[in-house]
């Protein structure tokens, strides 16, 4: 009996071919690289090394901290800004466009600009604070062991809060007005309307915004590479930065592939649990 090829297959075949060539095959190849040594023999050594690699452990913890902190602040600010702009009677488009400006800059350009802003002696930030009469001797921003991670998070918040704002603004505009009007007639307070109507109806946009941002944050590279290169010491070392160094500076593609695979699995697990958590609420 002949197997019939579905009529639409020819139309999707190019997309499948591109997906196989650019995503699936490289993924399989990277796993193979991670599971072979320099001589080509099968080995689990690259994954075993992960268990006692202190730099990887530090980078993993800092990636989680960076992701959690930046995501929380960006979400809170993005939601607040979206609600604020949505409540405006006039000039909504103007404010929306103004808020989006940081996001339009290439991350590399933003990072270079912030590197100059943060310079403890010549930067505009400490310069402004000094003009206000403040002592900036201890404000070393990205150059300080305890302040470096916070400074990098601040740059990410500045650049990517507009992204959350954009998605949540679109979500807010899609919410029908009737339930809100009915609640108002029934005497619901602003907070009650937000908690019981706006927030549940905004949930799909929230899930999307958190998912996209979280996946982007986990693989943070460009800003940290330019602002601190992972330092001082390992104060801002992240998994992506360590993978880059291992692959392209130390020429150890096997170990870098193993770390990439672990990062991929962790990201998928995190995304799935986030979606599950949002579904159950």
Partner 1 sequence: MAVLAAAAFLTASCSHSGVRSLTIAVNAGVEGTALKTAAQEWGSSHGVRIEVVELPYANLFEKVQLDLTSRTGAYDVIMMDDPWFPLMAANGNLAPLPREPDSDFIANCLQVCKNGATYFALPYVGNAQLFFYRGDLFSKYGMAPPQAWDDVLHAAKTIGEKEKMFGYVMRAAPGNAVVADFMPLLWAFGGDVVSTDGAAAACDSAAGVEALRFMLELGKYSPPGYAGFNADEVSAHLLESTAVMSINWPAWIAAMDDPAKSKVVGKIEFTTMPAEREKGVGELGAWLVAVPSASKHTSDAFDFVFWATDAAQMKQAALRGNPPTRRSVFESPDLVAKFRAFPTQLRSLDSSRPRPRTAKWNEIENAFGIYLSKANAGAMDPAEAMRRAAQAIDEILKRTP
Select 119 or 271, whichever has its Cβ closest to partner 1: 119
Q: Is 91 exposed, middle or buried (0-12, 13-18, 19+ CB in 10 A)?
A: exposed
Q: Is the peptide bond before 232 cis (omega within 30 degrees of 0)?
A: yes
Residue span 9-28 as binding mask against partner 1, x where in contact by CB under 8 A, dash where not? -------------xx-xxx-
Of the candidate spans 96-104, 187-195, 199-207, 251-259, the one that interacts with partner 1 by CB under 8 A turns out to be 251-259
Report how far Cα 178 is from the mean position of its chain's Cα atoms. Answer: 35
Select 91 or 265, whichever has its Cβ closest to partner 1: 265
Task: Report if residue 33 touches partner 1, rule: CB under 8 A.
Answer: yes
Task: Report if residue 198 touches partner 1, rule: CB under 8 A.
Answer: no
Number of residues forming the site for partner 1 (CB under 8 A): 47
Task: Report if residue 119 touches partner 1, rule: CB under 8 A.
Answer: yes
Q: Pick from 90, 249, 279, 281 the residue near partner 1 by CB under 8 A.
A: 249
Q: What burial letters (b/e) apply to 5-39, b meaning 16+ CB within 10 Å?
A: eeeeeeeeeeeeeeeeeeeeeeeeebeebbbbeee
Helix, strand, coil content of the chain in percent (nearest 5)? 75, 0, 25
Site for partner 1 in 127-146 (CB under 8 A): 137-138, 140-145
Whose CA is closest to 152, among 237, 214, 75?
A: 237
Task: Report if residue 228 touches partner 1, rule: CB under 8 A.
Answer: yes
Select 100 or 117, whichever has its Cβ closest to partner 1: 117
Residue span 55-94 as binding mask against partner 1, x where in contact by CB under 8 A, dash where not? x---------------------------------------
* C-alpha distances out from residue 111 to 30, 190, 223, Å: 30, 39, 5
Q: Return all residues near 136 (Cβ < 8 A) that are at least 6 apart.
A: 120, 126, 129, 130
Report how far Cα 99 is from the mean position of its chain's Cα atoms. Answer: 18
Q: Pick from 61, 229, 272, 277 the residue near partner 1 by CB under 8 A.
A: 229
Residues near partner 1 (CB under 8 A): 22-23, 25-27, 29-30, 33, 37-38, 54-55, 119-122, 137-138, 140-145, 148, 228-235, 243, 245, 247-253, 256-257, 260-261, 264
């Amino acid at each position: 009996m002949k197997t019939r090829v579905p009529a639409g297959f020819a139309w999707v075949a190019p997309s499948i071919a591109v997906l196989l060539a650019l995503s699936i095959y490289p993924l399989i190849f990277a796993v193979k690289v991670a599971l072979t040594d320099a001589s080509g023999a099968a080995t689990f050594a690259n994954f075993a090394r992960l268990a006692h690699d202190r730099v990887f452990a530090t980078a993993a913890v800092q990636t989680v901290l960076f992701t959690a902190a930046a995501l929380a602040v960006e979400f809170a600010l993005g939601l607040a800004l979206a609600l604020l702009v949505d409540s405006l009677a006039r000039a909504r488009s103007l404010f929306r466009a103004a808020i989006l400006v940081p996001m339009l800059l290439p991350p590399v350009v933003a990072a270079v600009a912030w590197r100059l802003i943060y310079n403890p002696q010549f930067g505009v930030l400490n310069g402004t604070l000094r003009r206000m009469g403040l002592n900036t001797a201890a404000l070393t921003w990205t150059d300080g062991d305890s302040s470096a991670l916070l400074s990098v998070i601040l740059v990410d918040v500045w650049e990517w809060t507009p992204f959350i704002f954009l998605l949540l603004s679109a979500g807010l505009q899609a919410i029908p007005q009737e339930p809100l009007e009915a609640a108002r007639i029934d005497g619901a307070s602003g907070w009650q309307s937000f908690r019981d109507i706006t927030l549940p109806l905004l949930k799909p946009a929230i899930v999307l915004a958190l998912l996209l941002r979280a996946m982007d944050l986990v693989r943070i590279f460009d800003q940290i590479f330019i602002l601190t290169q992972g330092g001082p010491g390992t104060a801002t070392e992240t998994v992506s930065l360590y993978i880059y160094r291992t692959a392209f500076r130390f020429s150890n593609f096997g170990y870098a592939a193993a770390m990439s695979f672990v990062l991929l699995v962790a990201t998928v697990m995190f995304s799935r649990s986030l979606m599950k958590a949002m579904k159950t609420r």
